[in-house]
Amino acid sequence: MKIHQIRNATLIVTYHQQKFLIDPWLMPKDYMPGFESAVHSNIRQPRVDLPIDIEKIVDVDAVILTHFHPDHWDEFAVKALNKTIPFFVQSEQDAAVVKKAGFQKVKVIEENTVFQGVHLYKTGGQHGKREIIEPLCNQINMPYDAMGIVFQAADEKTLYIAGDTIWCAEVRQAIDTFQPAVIVVNACGATLLNGEKIIMDDKDVQALATYAPSATVIASHMDTVSHLTTTRADIKNLGLNNVLVPADNEILQFN
């Protein structure tokens, strides 16, 4: 297993000899404004450039989109990706968006979806406290849910990509059910104007790493979006032996 941190939540996961591109957000630095409903809306995003050429990023076997919020999916990904690439999403609603962009092999991940010997399981989460954030999303016609993904194969350790979620019962359930050896968390503490965080921050990472002490925890989705409140330095300052904080373009390998 290799996990290549590209930028933000964009990863290339090499698993059972298959390369999966996760959440391709490929626009150049400062391309879009900050989110008006979130903190630091005056800061344009992405805050940093892609570390490698787009052509290298999209040279993969399949794509997984955890949800289609505008910091996980963009027109640059639509343009760069081959329209016949296998493409996995969380729901029929998301599938319709991807199909409308011209992709021909779009599949909703069910309880257990198999691709080239890799078992993919969809997991739940809370993209911010459900009782607070979901009604706000409904008001602006933006989907609330964002899935996590568990990867399993006979020759690999179990990998859990938690996706855009806070530390919550659904994440604990995924850990309890699958006992992952490696857990990727989105951890920049993205925060709305009402003070609610919509993904994990350093306190959530500490709670998760303590709950799963035998797992290696990887902090992703760092130092890129306008509405971050937690940095790579904050995660490193936790001093946790089982937490890794890769730089953009860093590749982590697990045997």
> What is the dihedral angle through the alpha carbons of 78, 80, 86, 87, rounded to the nearest 10 degrees?
-30
pLDDT tens-place string over residues 152-211: 999 999 999 999 999 999 999 999 999 999 999 999 999 999 999 999 999 999 999 999
What pLDDT is recorded for position 110?
85
Number of domain units in the chain:
1
Q: Is residue 170 part of a domain?
A: yes
CATH of the domain at 37: 3.60.15.10
User: For residue 168, what are the CA distances in angstroms to 4, 13, 164, 174?
Assistant: 26, 25, 12, 10
Residue 56 lies in a domain: yes
Q: What is the pTM of this model?
A: 0.97
Contacts of 105-113 spanning 24+ positions with Cβ under 8 A? 109/64, 109/147, 109/149, 113/88
Q: Does any domain span residue 255?
A: no
Q: Is residue 58 part of a domain?
A: yes
Q: Is residue 172 part of a domain?
A: yes
Give the range of the structural domain holding residue 125, as residue numbers without chain letter: 2-247
- What is residue 38's predicted lDDT score, i.e. its pLDDT? 95
| Mean confidence (pLDDT) of the chain | 97
Please list the residues that pair with 13 across neighbouring strands.
Answer: 3, 20
Beta strand 182-186 with 216-220 is parallel
pLDDT at position 152: 98
* DSSP labels, 46-62: -SS--SS-HHHHT-SSE
Residue 7 domain-assigned (yes or no): yes
pLDDT (0 to 100) of residue 5: 98
The string of pLDDT tens digits covering residues 48-86 is 999 999 999 999 999 999 999 999 999 999 999 999 999
Structural domain includes residue 140: yes
Query: Has residue 252 been placed in a domain?
Result: no
